Amino acid sequence: MLDKSPLPPAVNVPNDLAAHWMPFTANRAFKKAPRLLAGAKDMHYLTVDGRNIIDAAAGMWCCNAGHGRSQISSAIAKIAETLDYAPPFQFGIPQAFELASRIAELAPAGLDHVFFCNSGSEAADTALKIALAYHQIQGQGSRIRLIGRERGYHGVGFGGTSVGGIVNNRKMYGSLLTGVDHLPATYDREKQAFTKGEPEYGVHFADELERLVNLHGANTIAAVIVEPMAGSTGVLPAPKGYLKRLREITQKHGILLIFDEVITGYGRLGHAFAAERYGVVPDMITFAKGITNGAAPMGGVIVRDTIHDAFMAGPEHVVELTHGYTYSAHPLACAAGLATLDIYRDENLFERARKLEPKFADAVMSLKNEPNVADIRTVGLTAGIDLAPRADSPGKRGFDALNSAFHDNDLMLRIAGDSLALTPPLIVSEDQVGEIVEKVAKVIRAVA
Ligand code: PMP
């Protein structure tokens, strides 16, 4: 735990919070009762008023190795002093090549090439662009349609927003990309209630892809993108057999399959990638968050060799993919990524998560009889707890839970409407799981 008393010297809380327009935040409510953080170590955040709060959210699904890992911060500091920046177009740094190889080693066989960007949103848009470009160079330029899924989240770029399936994220932004369809969400509360791991019910939701193929013609469809476990809309694990079925249908019709593993990558489900847990190999995997343990912005796409190689066929001096970012493979992020992968390996954190999963699931399921709990889902070290919405004000119960957790119970959790998400760092101890669950029970009672 952190020292409770003094704030780190650099932390000066301004009187006026107006200038910072905060992302995905209820700004006016926040500024009346701010949740301000000053430090972080292991499983805890330190608030600006000197309280230690237990982090049941791994920051935002990203600090898988816990906070304040000195191996990572020193790696960042060291490279910042020796190589602050290097242009990633037409130049490179050794760390980027090493990190790509390390990531490829963790990925399923046959996915051995990594394209770097800076976030999950950029990773989703990059993967969609690679899919479209791939078909074009294969002489299949008619494959321009993209398919996402209802309740899917792939970040906030125009591509990710278009294939995403959250109405509130879509409805303000015009027509978005054309030629996009959505598979149905895989959740059925009645048939899947209180499931640990993969629900038995729901493989048939994948068959909707056949319907879209019949509707549009396979030769118009470029790619399907799904999260193996939808995180941002309340922790919805794929039903048993669902991902395999999607793989079969996409393969049959020459459609690329993209797994968005921004949340599920790097141990959240007890494996390097969910693809490994479910034994299904997609054509591309997007990642972000856990790759640097949250300590530097980084995202990327792991690409199947056959796709990568198809781009490598033209004249050697010509840029093969007209895409990339000023900060692709940024030195600080590469150094953070390498140090993070060392920690995951040396501390066996993915295996640790796998072993803790049954106890975590039991502990969270014990909340079943708390007031207004409508459903609980668990998978890996992740849980979604649905609270029945207040009839007068949907979303208010979840919002109150966020505040009750932070201000009154020294707990950080995530909310999605009236759902609470628990997704602690993979270093969480059994005792800390118990402590988190006890605090969540208090929060649920407080908002009842
Ligand atoms: N995809 C998924 C599955 C995510 O959960 C997120 C972020 N929660 C994103 C993409 C977007 O990532 P970022 O916020 O880094 O752009």
Find out whether the beta carbon of 291 lies less than 6 Å from any atom of ligand 1: no
Mutate which of 62, 153, 327 for ligand 1? The one with the most ligand atoms within 8 Å of its CB, which is 153
Q: Rounded to the nearest 10 degrees, how much is the dihedral formed by the CA atoms of 155, 158, 159, 160?
A: 20
pLDDT digits (tens, 9 = 90+) for 324-377: 999 999 999 999 999 999 999 999 999 999 999 999 999 999 999 999 999 999
User: Is residue 407's pLDDT more than 60?
Assistant: yes
Q: Is the pLDDT of residue 164 over 80?
A: yes
Contact predicate 321/311, CB 8 Å = yes
Q: Is the CB of 125 under 6 A from ligand 1?
A: no
**Which atom of ligand 1 lies closest to the CA of 120?**
12
Atom of ligand 1 nearest to the CA of 227: 3
Q: What is the mean pLDDT of residues 68-96?
A: 98
Complex confidence, ipTM: 0.99
What is residue 1's predicted lDDT score, i.e. its pLDDT? 59
| Ligand 1 centre distance from Cα of residue 157 (Å) | 10
For position 11, what pLDDT does the model report? 74
38 close to 7: Cβ distance less than 8 angstroms = yes
Percent of the chain with pLDDT over 70: 98
Ligand 1 center to 270 CA (angstroms): 19
CA 82 to ligand 1 center in whole angstroms? 31
Ligand 1: nearest atom to the Cα of 232: 5
Could you tell me the distance, in angstroms and rounded to a whole number, from the CA of residue 4 to the centre of ligand 1?
Answer: 32
Q: What is the mean pLDDT of the chain?
A: 97
Cα of 126 to ligand 1 centre, how many Å?
13
Per-residue pLDDT, 205: 98
CA of 370 to the centre of ligand 1 (A): 30
Regarding the beta carbon of 288 and ligand 1, being less than 6 Å apart is answered yes
Minimum-distance ligand 1 atom for the alpha carbon of 286: 1
Token digits for 389? 């919405």
Task: Give the tens place of pLDDT for each residue, 256-289.
Answer: 999 999 999 999 999 999 999 999 999 999 999 9
- For ligand 1, the distance from its centroid to the CA atom of residue 127, given in whole angstroms, is 13
Per-residue model confidence as pLDDT tens digits over 32-81: 999 999 999 999 999 999 999 999 999 999 999 999 999 999 999 999 99
Closest CA relative to residue 252, chosen from 292, 224, 288, 275: 224
Task: Give pLDDT, residue 24.
Answer: 97
Using CA atoms, how far apart are residues 428 and 42, in angstroms rounded to an integer?
9
Residue ranges per structural domain of the chain: 27-65+348-446, 73-346
73-346 matches 27-65+348-446 in CATH topology: no
Evaluate if residue 4 carries a pLDDT over 80.
no
154 CB less than 6 Å from ligand 1? yes
pLDDT of residue 2: 59
375 lines ligand 1 (CB under 6 A): no
Ligand 1 atom nearest to CA at 121: 16
Amino acid letter for position 257: L
229 in contact with ligand 1, CB cutoff 6 A: no
pTM here is 0.97
The closest-lying atom of ligand 1 relative to the alpha carbon of residue 260 is 3
**Per-residue pLDDT tens over the stretch 198-243:** 999 999 999 999 999 999 999 999 999 999 999 999 999 999 999 9
> What is residue 303's three-state secondary structure?
strand
Segment 160-164 shows an average pLDDT of: 98
249 alpha-carbon distance from chain centroid: 25
Q: Which residue type does 236 have? A: L
From residue 319, how far is each of 115, 128, 322, 350, 391 by CA, in Å?
A: 14, 18, 6, 37, 56
**What separation in Å is there between the alpha carbon of 262 and the centre of ligand 1?**
6
Q: Is 384 in the pocket of ligand 1 (CB under 6 A)?
A: no
Whether the CB of 403 sits within 6 Å of ligand 1: no
Does position 177 have pLDDT exceeding 70, yes or no? yes
From CA 91, how far away is CA 346, in angstroms rounded? 31
Residues 6+ apart with CB under 8 A from 315: none
Q: Residue 227: CB within 6 Å of ligand 1?
A: yes
10 has pLDDT over 70: no
Q: What's the 50 CA to ligand 1 centre distance in angstroms? A: 30
How do 299-304 and 284-287 pair as beta strands? antiparallel
DSSP SS3 for 302:
strand
Going from the Cα of 77 to the center of ligand 1, the distance in angstroms, rounded, reads: 26
- 27-65+348-446 is classed in which CATH architecture? Alpha-Beta Complex (3.90)
The H or E element containing residue 387 is strand 382-387
Decide: 155 in ligand 1 pocket, CB within 6 A. Answer: yes
**CA dist., res. 238 & res. 242, Å (int):** 6
Ligand 1, residue 160: give the atom nearest the CA: 10
Give the Å distance between the CA of 228 and the centre of ligand 1.
Answer: 13
- C-alpha of residue 327 to centroid of ligand 1, in Å: 18
Distance CA 101, CA 195 (A): 37
Give the model confidence (pLDDT) of 107-143 as tens digits: 999 999 999 999 999 999 999 999 999 999 999 999 9
Phi-psi region of 159 (alpha: psi -120 to 50; beta: other; left: phi over 0): alpha
- Domain 73-346 CATH class label: alpha beta
Average pLDDT of the residues in 184-210? 98
Phi and psi at residue 3, to the nearest 5°: -60, 130
How many A from CA of 99 to the centre of ligand 1?
Answer: 21
- pLDDT band per the 50, 70, 90 thresholds, residue 12: confident
Largest CA distance in the chain: 66
Distance in angstroms between the alpha carbons of the first and the last residue of the chain: 31
